Amino acid sequence: MGAPIAPADLRERFEREVMPVLPNLFAAALRMTRNRSDAEDLLQETYLRAFRGFGGFEEGSNLRAWLYRIMTNAYINLYRKRQREPITVSDEDVPDWYLYEKIGPDGAEPSAEAVVLDSLPDEDVQRALEELPEAFRMAVLLADVQGFAYKEIAEILDIPIGTVMSRLHRGRKALQKRLWDSMRERGLVTD
């Protein structure tokens, strides 16, 4: 262990290393809290907690995962209980390959599914993610949006890897169902 870092250096390093991750963290906070004002508060709280703990953070280790763990814990402590649970989408009776079967290539129009997927507005996709039950939402957010490995997700959420895989699998199916509903609402597909 080297010489202790001067507080000014620590702060400078903190701001330098964390700054690039902020837009990422904020986007995730939005999907977690599902409203802008809470997302801003959550980000601030995360930033503060991270700063307080930064002295103990091992340089060179996984900063993103560490920040996400802090944010997830802050979300659970502060926001989860407060929020009304919206109507959520279930994965019940959704087979694997649900969306593929519905809009995937069938030989007749090979480009149809690309057109449909590209035509979905971002906000529809965001809503779909936000309407997943929380456990599924967190798994899909961390895996598909933020690109964490299963092992990292297990650490961030403090759950076994098997549970990560199960929630991901079910969450993706529920998401496909919700995306299909969106596509129908937008008139991009017919039943």
Partner 1 sequence: MSPIDCERTLEQIALYLDGELVGEASIEVHQHVETCTPCHDRAEFQRRLKELVRGACGECEMPPGLLDRLKAFLDAVDG
Contacts to partner 1 by CB under 8 A: 7, 11, 14-15, 22-24, 26-27, 30-31, 36, 40, 43-44, 47-48, 51-52, 96-97, 99-100, 104-105, 113-114, 117, 120, 122-123, 125-126, 129, 140-141, 143-147, 149-150, 168-169, 172, 175-176, 179
Angle, nearest 10°, between helix axes 63-78 and 7-18?
90
Q: Which residue's CB is nearer to partner 1, number 47 or number 75?
A: 47
User: Angle between the 63-78 and 22-33 helix axes, to the nearest 10 degrees?
Assistant: 30
Minimum distance from residue 128 beta carbon to partner 1 (Å): 8
Q: Which is nearer to partner 1, 49 or 76 (CB)?
A: 49
| Closest approach of partner 1 to the CB of residue 72, in Å | 16
**Of the two residues 1 and 115, which places its CB atom closer to partner 1 in the complex?**
115
Shorter beta-carbon distance to partner 1: residue 17 or 113: 113
Whole-angstrom distance between the N-terminal and C-terminal Cα of the chain? 64
What are the backbone angles phi and psi of residue 130, rounded to the nearest 5°?
-70, -20
Distance CA 120, CA 145 (A): 17
Task: Pick the closer one to partner 1 by CB: 23 or 81.
Answer: 23
Shortest gap between Cβ of 174 and partner 1 (angstroms)? 12
3-class state of residue 90 by DSSP:
coil
**SS3 call for 155:** helix
Q: In whole angstroms, what separates CA 17 from the centre of its chain?
A: 21
CB of residue 80 to partner 1, shortest distance in Å: 19
Phi, psi of 111 (to 5 degrees): -95, 0
